[in-house]
Amino acid sequence: MNGAARREACRLALGALLACAAWLHAAPAPDEVFATIPVHAHAVIERVAHDRTLFTQGLVLSDGLLIESGGNYRESRLVQRRLGDARPLRTRALPGDWFAEGIAAHHGKLYLLTWREGVLQRFTLPDLEPEQRFAYRGEGWGLASDGTHLIQSDGSATLRWRRPEDFSELRRLQVRAGARPLERLNELEWVNGWLLANVWLSDSVVAIDPRSGCARWRLELGELLDARERRRADVLNGIAWDADTGLLWVTGKLWPWLFALRIEVPPLPDLAVTDGQCADAL
């Protein structure tokens, strides 16, 4: 590389760094926002081995099978297993130009988001055969089903409710803690009327009242991995509710373990917030 090319490469790298710094500065620090959300207790009931080569993006339980999506270009795949068995029952490789993101099981089908490819892919269950595809705009991060619609995150504080038949948008909701938007919402899970979301670059899972967008309580999961495991792993990402056992399964990108947590899920508060603030505690 000659001097001019090196200068150009440095200029581009510096530009990317400044853009990244500006983005990080613009987004409210989740730690400050989290301070207003009460922490709920959890107990670790069990841990089972997890594929530490999988860059986990989505996690869901369907008819007793655990299904996981792994991201990265040329590595994206779906993996299905029984909870008691680390060996996959099925693995479905995905197109090399897809970066797989969140998944949701809905009325006997599996739906997969892609990061920047604008493709939602539907699969059969339990066979994971690809069916219909739908196009959408913007980034895909997390996905969940409330039993009627699909709910999508895109890394911001905004969630979108979408129709399963064509993935068209039905409703938009900004998630807040107090009066402040809660950014970086990632993997999602519907749990007894609450929408749980893990927050990118944190060890926090927040519980959102889907009527108001108010984050009402959170789980702090920073102690799940020890220091050595944490050095070799990426961030927490992956929450799946087992309605049969009442356990919440969590994992992360390149994590060595899946953990089963027992949590007390409170009832939704009686009143949705109407004044634009989320000041009421549970």
Q: How far is the CB of 96 from Ca ion (least distance, A)?
A: 24
If one asks whether residue 68 binds Ca ion (CB under 5 A), the answer comes out as no
Q: What's the sign of the alpha-carbon dihedral 274, 277, 279, 282?
A: positive
Binding mask of the shown chain, residues 31 to 60, with x at each position contacting Ca ion by CB under 5 A: ----------------------------xx
Return the structure tokens found at 150. 């699909």
- Rank residues 60 and 120 by Cβ distance to Ca ion and give the closer one: 60
Listed in sequence order, the residues at least 6 apart from 281 whose beta carbon sits closer than 8 Å to its beta carbon are: 38, 216
With CB under 5 A as the contact rule, the residue among 189, 190, 203, 261 that binds Ca ion is: 189
Window of 28-36, 160-168, 185-193, 228-236 that interacts with Ca ion by CB under 5 A: 185-193
- Give the dihedral of Cα atoms 108, 189, 191, 172; nearest 10 deg: -100
If one asks whether residue 101 binds Ca ion (CB under 5 A), the answer comes out as no
# chain residues binding Ca ion, by CB under 5 A: 3
Listed in sequence order, the residues at least 6 apart from 260 whose beta carbon sits closer than 8 Å to its beta carbon are: 44, 45, 46, 47, 48, 242, 245, 247, 248, 249
Window of 114-122, 133-141, 184-192, 215-223 that interacts with Ca ion by CB under 5 A: 184-192
- Rank residues 61 and 233 by Cβ distance to Ca ion and give the closer one: 61
- Give the dihedral of Cα atoms 218, 158, 203, 23; nearest 10 deg: -140
- Rank residues 60 and 173 by Cβ distance to Ca ion and give the closer one: 60
Instruction: Let me know: does 235 contact 251? Beta carbons within 8 Å.
Output: no
> Residues interacting with Ca ion, by CB under 5 A?
59-60, 189
